[in-house]
Amino acid sequence: MKSFFRLERGMYLELFLATALMIVDVILTLTFPYFTTHKAYYDSGAYIVVLLVSYLIYVSYLFWAKKKSTNDVAVVLYGFFLLWEVAYKLGWIHNDLLLPSPEGLFHVFVEKAPEISKDVWGSIQLLFWGFLLAATLGTLLGLLAGWIPRVREVLLPISNVITLIPPLMFSAYLIMILSTFRQAAIAVIFFAVFWPTFQGTVIRVGQIDRQIIEAARTMGVGTIGMLWKVIFPYCLPGIIGSISKSLRGAFMCLSGAEMLGINLGIGYFTEKYKSFADYRCVLAGIVTVGVITTVIDLAVNKAQRAIIKWEK
């Protein structure tokens, strides 16, 4: 337990600097008024909570991981927040419409919490179904194409062409031919994930050691058994390892599709408030997307380490 609270000597200095920046920012936020003819004032509670919660996460991770880069990130982050706040307190920023104050930005998550929650949940549902269908079918078809040359010779050239087309190019057409915006969004995600998953699986099947294949054949393993018991387990670490990248790409395509006309999701939230010239909400939508993609990435990496235990 004692080792948990021990850091390298040089790391304490950066910890102190990050802590000082955070405290100064809190004091500045709570005590100093705006120096400009600022028109919109917002409750600072949400911003203070963000500062304190992020600080707790930072300190906990610092003592757990003991990485110097953790201090570097914290110093840059709190330095940026402090500079942002100082810019408003000293009157360097006069246009609250385009660049809101930190209090104004984070207060969006309080005043529009139900709407943001609904749109985030909508985006996650669309992402789940589109990704699940694409990853499952892409993997199955990739295993078949990787194992059966005739199937590979037909499908691989097609996939090489389709993957060069940005998935969002299909969105306008999909919105017209499918019955609902929800189906169109799922289809966009499907296009974004299916073909890269298919190609990656084909490549992994081609990389399998031929001695493994020959050993399985001498044991009388048929095509189905070869695909399910030999090739799929061999390809599984690579498939799971590519999920994080695929999910990030799928979420970007989903957000873009939502902004193009799908009336649900955090992309729709951002586009709607852009039309109203409410850039506090636009920035809040951008921050939300960043948080979601980060959480997805961390969750997938953790799941990968838990599932693929033999890959160390």
For 28-43, what is each residue's pLDDT tens digit? 988 887 665 555 667 8
Are 144 and 291 contained in the same domain? Answer: yes
What pTM was estimated for this model as a whole?
0.81
Are 93 and 165 contained in the same domain? Answer: no
Inside any domain, residue 37:
yes
- Count of structural domains within the chain: 2
Inside any domain, residue 291:
yes
DSSP structure class, residue 208: S
- Domain containing 259 equals 113-307
Are 176 and 50 contained in the same domain? Answer: no
- Angle 259-261-264 (CA atoms, 0-180°, nearest 5)? 75
Inside any domain, residue 220:
yes
Do 256 and 268 meet the contact criterion of CB atoms below 8 Å apart?
no
Last residue of a domain, one of 72, 95, 111: 111
For 254-276, what is each residue's pLDDT tens digit? 877 777 666 778 888 988 898 88
For 55-108, what is each residue's pLDDT tens digit? 999 999 888 888 889 999 999 999 999 999 988 888 787 667 778 889 889 999
Identify the CATH number of the domain in which residue 165 sits.
1.10.3720.10
Inside any domain, residue 63:
yes
Are 162 and 122 contained in the same domain? Answer: yes
Are 21 and 159 contained in the same domain? Answer: no
